[in-house]
Structure 1
Amino acid sequence: MSAAPAIGGRISDAAHLRARVVVRRRDFDVDLALEVSPGEIVAVMGRSGAGKSTLLGTLAGLTPLDGGEISVDGRLLDRAPRLRTAPMQRGIVLLGQDARLFPHLSARENVAFGPRAAGVPASVARSTADEWLTRVGLPGAGDRRPAQLSGGEQQRVAVARALAAEPRVVLLDEPLVALDAVTASEIRAMLRDRLSGVTTVAVTHDAVDAAALADRLVIVERGRVTQEGPVREVLSAPATEIAARIAGLERLVGHARGGGWVRSGARLETTDAASLALAAVEGAPLAAVFRAAHVRLGEGAAATVSHLEPTPAGVRVVTDAGAAEVSPAVAAELRPGDVVRWTVAPAHVRFVPAS
């Protein structure tokens, strides 16, 4: 992504973020290494409690390090245990689920707050605020207070306020999770445009957000990075069960045998060239990856139904060999403990290495 011109005519140089974050917690220690190139947007995903918010808290200066260090463009911000830079002096802004606007200030004054705090004359800061409100899709809304704005409009003002401060790094902590689907889609598109060229770390639970916003995806599990790479590569070839769930895929670990995948009497084949090369290594650990919607019940290997989960499109039948998505009519005939037979057509199967 190329650097975007900042309001006021000057171009903000994108920053290089480097961090080694160590925070001791009761259940496990968070120990994450993260490097974000200038202007890059990195998405961070994982289960709740995996350490994602802890990472953002340390980067923002809200959570102290127990070990490691954080630097922006070579300027050391934190180094455990002695050096810690105050949040307001880091050049890093955090945008979360709650817009956290000042309720007694207008939208214009909310956005102008950062520039004014940095010493910009009030008239210039207010003019800059109006320009930013236009850029986030709220022209003419400067006089309205937060109580007069919808949730989506408040989040747009929060984005304008964050970027008007010309931060070196932007942190996003699930900023779309509290919005309805239509509003979230609109804000996502706006963020994609406004964050172009801005060094960004975005925590999200939604793979759509990662695919739409980010250049690179980092998967975090129990305080450790378990996979990272270009977003689409990670989502199409998940290295762990949790990464597969994030990508909306089933991932079953077996072995290569006879040019296919086998496990406990089940066999899957593929038409994917890269997958065929992996399956040619006889006996190698191999994971089969596919979508539950592509599973066919009634033929193939046996599996025992664990439970059934309603979904917007039908019912998810969870078994001891992955899951299948079926219609309510099919699900009505199934109960936990039932034995079903399943298979997936080769065109819908990919193989990835399994350690």
Structure 2
Amino acid sequence: MKAVLLRELGGPDKLKLEEIDIPKPRGKEVLIKLKYAALNRRDVFITYGLYPGMKLPTILGSDGSGEVVEIGDEVTSVSINDEVVINPGLNWGDNDRFSNPEFQILGMPVNGTYAQYVVVPEENVYPKPNHLNWEEAAALPLAGVTAYRALFTRGEVQKGEKVLIPGIGSGVALFALQMANAVGADVYVTSSSDEKIEQAIQLGAKGGVNYKKEKWAKELKNIMGFADLVIDGVGGPSFNDFIYLTAPGGRIVSFGATSGPIPEFVMPRVFFKNMDIRGTTMGSPRDFMNMLSLYEKHSLHPVIDRTYSLEEVKQAQVYMEEGKNFGKITLKIED
């Protein structure tokens, strides 16, 4: 089969398309012939070695959809020819509050979906939502479950609340926008791109502000008021502004820190507001199942920015690294 392998570090240019053997499913494993895969920012970080638990060589890719073509001799809930989507969170455990120490994400150290075939545990295979095509289904898993957990499991979003989503345009941020809209929350966004803010408004955001402006936080407060919930994957200096923009008794849920550490964190700004700061990452199997159910109930469709072939994976990762995308970047996997 064709697969994209990373054998050495140095960025997307080190990815190589190779011909390797099709893996065999054993026991409770399932072999899936992939139709589409999708990119996540972790894929780019891994090519530079900027991810914990590095192990090479590896096949990147956490997201994928396809057809089951072979099953292990202990599989009971999945059949050959099933149309499926993959939950990339492996070995979460039984506690919904946090993952266990054995938790891993598909696509390093376990071989992932930048390939024509992938083997995954039976418990990580779910029926593809009928209203989604192959590409949309592949775009949803990692970012979708991250957004769902941040909004609902950790963020406890309620109808009518104001939700601030910084850095709109990424997969998680757009999924959070869609889901929050679906349950009747009022969403506001930030971006360095006026065009992305306008696109978000077209998708249902109530408004937004370009954070490149000198006093963007005050401008946003004048538009929004205070946010009941902030879904943050940015971190960095802006986190202090998010604290300022959070309502008394409000919540910030952090799922990433693409802008680095938070400088000059002033704790009284937090406790005088009686606010919560909560961490989250990925999601449990229950989160994943509930996320799929929400997308089916409200007939939601992931936003796709651009599609590449498996042979164009380097260009795809460079495009993601530039941060110009509004929506998911996918890989079409040909026979």
* TM-score normalised by L of structure 1: 0.28
More strand by share: 1
For CA contacts below 8 A with separation 6 or more, give which structure has more relative contact order. Answer: 2
* TM-score normalised by L of structure 2: 0.29
